[in-house]
Amino acid sequence: MGSLPSAGSAADDEPPAVKTPRFVPADMAVLETIAIAFWAMLPAYVPNNAAVLAGGGRPIDGGRTWGDRRVLGDGKTWRGTAMGIVAGLALAAVLTVIEPSVGDALGFDLPEFTPFAAVGLAGGAMLGDILASFLKRRTGRQRGAMFPGLDQLDFVVVSLPLVALLDFDWFREWFTLEVLFVVVVLTPILHVTTNMIAYKLGLKNEPW
């Protein structure tokens, strides 16, 4: 008992030792930025995966060609697109409802989605995917062919400007430069991983 050093006894002339916290504030800030980026992008990430699960039926281009190539191809269907958007909007609603409790548990605020932000993220993701198919067909790529870079970022490139257009205040509040940076780095990693899983599960024909 007497062997325990007690504060203020032996070393009164020494400054009190400063304990280094396990997470210094800078690390916390990085984790917070990653969490915000992931959460904010979830309504844009999910539509593509939902489209893979729900796709099929009538293609958007109705089989039409431009020159000797399909306008979009059989991989872009009305049902897949509609279900993708519905899934993204539903997820945005769920995240908005649970944000207070999740934010409380984590100790920082996460985005709650305004209707315009949700539409921009979910709709923009599907629109970006469709535009990517359009570009693939124009460059002579068959359905399912890969287009590195475009495949991984098509939904970011369209959804973020659309969100900024539809609800600039919300966009500016959440998509800081740091968050945008994380989105650009994180999105391709998540995209490659989820597509690989979908391929292994037999849900997707190609691993990209």
Which residues of this protein are in contact with ligand CTP, per CB under 6 A? 51-52, 55-56, 73, 75-77, 80-81, 84, 126, 129-130, 133, 136, 143-145, 204
Q: How far is the CB of 197 from ligand CTP (least distance, A)?
A: 14
Nearer to ligand CTP, 45 or 76 (CB): 76
CB 73 within 8 A of CB 61: yes
Residues 6+ apart with CB under 8 A from 4: none
> Which class for 69: exposed (0-12), middle (13-18), buried (19 or more C-beta within 10 A)?
middle
Q: How far is the CB of 166 from ligand CTP (least distance, A)?
A: 20
Nearer to ligand CTP, 73 or 111 (CB): 73
Residues listed for the chain: 208
Cβ atoms within 10 Å of 25's Cβ, excluding its own: 9
Q: How far is the CB of 73 from ligand CTP (least distance, A)?
A: 4
SS3 state at 110: coil
Q: How far is the CB of 91 from ligand CTP (least distance, A)?
A: 17
